Chain A
Amino acid sequence: SQTIHQWPATLVQPVGSPLSLECTVEGTSNPNLYWYRQAAGRGLQLLFYSVGIGQISSEVPQNLSASRPQDRQFILSSKKLLLSDSGFYLCAWSGQYTGELFFGEGSRLTVL
């Protein structure tokens, strides 16, 4: 069966520090991968998606970047965090021809 994991689960970082959130999928090949951010009490905002290795599409220009160095690995990064980067970050995957998203456990980032 397919599984998805992301880490770290919780992160407290000072403003201006770097960020790296990692997500891996097991049990499937060539998945579509997504990074979403959820602000408190709000819906999910799509940040990045990828349909293959090295292929990254950005939905919202901002302080973050994403990379897909391997087929089932998706990384969210920042060189310098801002206070507004605080939130709950969710990685997800879907099959190429199915629609539903399967989410990781989430990473809660607090920027102080």
Chain B
Amino acid sequence: AQKVTQAQTEISVVEKEDVTLDCVYETRDTTYYLFWYKQPPSGELVFLIRRNSFDEQNEISGRYSWNFQKSTSSFNFTITASQVVDSAVYFCALREYTNAGKSTFGDGTTLTVKP
């Protein structure tokens, strides 16, 4: 069975601080997808990034960066120079590498960025 653990339930930082959200996953599959989603107070989940299990190259997109380490089954998300608009619940998810592709979500990390 697949499992995603986001050990940090809540994180609070002051604007312009860097913050890292942790994600650890468990799967018996050799091929899979990993994702991060953002859920602002409005409630609608927004896709941020997808990573295939065979691609361990880290990625940077503006202030966002992702560190995928297959050896430790981790897919961590770092926000550099955080802003108040980054305040949201962030979910890490693991998806089967099949057409139906069921996704398993972590419980989320609530990030609060204070001005």
Contacts and interface: CB of A to CB of B under 8 A. Distances in A.
Interface in B96-115: 97, 99-108
Nearest to A9: B43
B44 A44 contact: no
Contact of A43 (B42, B44, B46, B91): B91
> Interface range on chain A: under 10, 10 to 19, 20 to 34, or 35 or more?
20 to 34
A46 interface: yes
Interface string B41-68: 0111111001000000000000000000
Interface string B83-99: 00000000101010101
Interface of B: 4, 33, 35, 37, 42-47, 50, 91, 93, 95, 97, 99-108
B10 to A, nearest CB: 10
A106 B108 contact: no
B108 A43 contact: yes
Interface of A: 32, 34, 41-44, 46, 49, 51, 57, 59, 88, 90, 92, 94, 96-106, 108
A99 B99 contact: no
Contacts of B4: 43
Contact of B91 (A44, A92, A94, A98): A44
B106 A101 contact: no
Given A43-B107, A46-B103, 7 more contacts: A59-B102, A88-B43, A97-B99, A100-B35, A104-B44, A106-B43, A106-B44
